[in-house]
Amino acid sequence: MKKTIWWLNPGVVFTFMIVPNVVIANHLSSNSFLNNWGTPKYLSKELFQVSIFSVLLFLLGSAFMVIVLKGIYDKRSIPRPQTIRRREKDYSFLMFFLNVSYLFTFFGYIYWFYVALTRGLSFSVLIGMLQGSKGAMYDLKHLFSTVSGITTFTQFGIVASILSVYVGLNFGWSKIKSKMIILLVITFFRAFFLSERLAALELVIPIIVCWLGIKAQSGLSGKKRVMVNLSPLIGLVVFAVYFSVSEYFRSWSNYYALKESSFIEFCVTRITGYYVTGLNNGSMLIDVFRKPLSFPYFTTTWLWDFPILGSYFDANKLTGVPSDFNFAGTLASMGNPEFNNPSGLFLPYIDFGHVGGFFFWLIAGMGCGFIYHLFSYNNIYGYLYYPIIFVGLLESPRVLYWSEGRAFPAWLLVFFISFFLFIRSKHGLLSNNNSYRMRSGKMEGSLRKRYTSMEDF
């Protein structure tokens, strides 16, 4: 039976993230952009209309898949298991991949920390950061600059967080809790000291999405459901506080405290700027590339950034991007390098043109609707993919997260897990285990000591 929460719907998330921000960007004058964020306004009336139409196409694609798949399930044209066979080997199957994801993640962080030590990391640098010493944050980021092919491993933590919640709620937390706490502590250390807010959101958001998705299946009581339905408002407040604290150490104490009089006003302008200038930068890139590339360059950035493999591809020859093109340089001459988000919404239009971009968001809506359908019907494939998709929807005004290098390790590991799950499944992709009987996230009675067979997924 389908049980979910309204704001987890991909159409709702995408609309909420794109429409308000593009409306604000369209309403503001060029002088407002220059005064607040030091960049001219590039978003035209035409691109505003393109933005709204993109949202409508995404909603159409998402709704189409949800309606079609619901009809398939309601007609029972695809067999669904009526019983669940529980075996310990299936618990071991999930734990194997969970342990692999933790192993990769901790390896990446340990090696990264070791490299930082060899570069001169000391407690004095960390203390300077906490005290708000000018330049301390930039020194720390230099010490922790990425190591190609190694720090990528830390991104497997996204899958570790998803599997931890899924296994923990369904089978128990005894073998997971300590590793999950360590991962969260390390990630928040990274987010705070290295000013990588997204690193924390990449773990926390999938945890929340997966947790609520599973909890919704067992039913939410009146007060809990009201709180969950209002949680987007609570989330906005929490995010604003989180953003403000990180921004204090990131830019306020280093530079803006001497120029601005109000920290609160600074934070409001800053938060708005990250999303609005992202859309504006995307519009700028459309102006720079007056003709579509007719090749997936900006929509496949993971390939060009991929360690070793990326060096074998000549992106300039394949895509037609000028050899002297540099996004940072373009921002320096036409925008503001401090606000360096390229916008996830407009990148498909640079690669494929208007028609191709419209088709991209229609297909994206269909894909998100398909995965959301699995998620809302308590299917393990939905739990694996949808939390990552959800992060991408939230980041869509700023970046095309799904195609970035930082998301690629998570996609890769999730694909391998899905592949082996599919092999073990005798019903195929659309079969699910929606007969979980759970109360407060734990299996009832004697079922708690038994395990779910992957053959029923």
Mean pLDDT of 70-84: 47
pLDDT of residue 82: 30
Task: Name the 3-class secondary structure at 439.
Answer: strand
pLDDT of residue 349: 96
Mean pLDDT of 122-133: 77
Per-residue pLDDT for 57 more than 60? yes
Per-residue pLDDT for 188 more than 80? yes
Task: Name the 3-class secondary structure at 240.
Answer: helix
Average pLDDT of the chain is: 83
Distances in Å between the Cα of 299 and the Cα atoms of 292, 303, 322, 346, 406 are 13, 10, 17, 10, 14
Q: Which 8-state DSSP code applies to residue 342?
A: -
Per-residue pLDDT for 448 more than 70? no
| Rg, the chain, Cα only | 23
Instruction: For 193-223, write each residue's pLDDT tens digit.
Output: 888 889 999 999 999 999 999 988 877 777 8
Cα–Cα distance measured from residue 179 to residue 187, given in angstroms and rounded to the nearest whole number: 12
pLDDT of residue 72: 66
Mean pLDDT of 170-175: 87
* β-pairing verdict for 438-439 and 442-443: antiparallel
Cα–Cα distance measured from residue 155 to residue 138, given in angstroms and rounded to the nearest whole number: 22
Mean pLDDT of 175-185: 94
Percentage of the chain beyond pLDDT 70 is: 82
- Asked if 411 contacts 158 with a C-beta cutoff of 8 angstroms, the reply is no
Q: How many CB atoms within 10 Å of residue 107?
A: 14
Task: Name the 3-class secondary structure at 226.
Answer: helix
Mean pLDDT of 333-342: 92
Hey, what amino acid is at 403?
Answer: S
- Which of 87-101, 326-340, 374-388 is the least confident region? 87-101
Per-residue pLDDT for 271 more than 70? yes
Token pair belonging to 181: 């706490």
Mean pLDDT of 132-138: 71
Helix (H) or strand (E) holding 307, with range, is: none
Cα–Cα distance measured from residue 262 to residue 289, given in angstroms and rounded to the nearest whole number: 39
Token pair belonging to 386: 């949808």
Q: How many CB atoms within 10 Å of residue 98?
A: 23
Token pair belonging to 406: 């930082």
pLDDT of residue 207: 96
Q: Give the chain's count of helices (H) and strands (E).
A: 17, 2
Residues forming beta bridges with residue 439, ordered by sequence position: 442
Name the band, by pLDDT with cuts 50, 70 and 90, for residue 314: low
Cα–Cα distance measured from residue 277 to residue 340, given in angstroms and rounded to the nearest whole number: 8
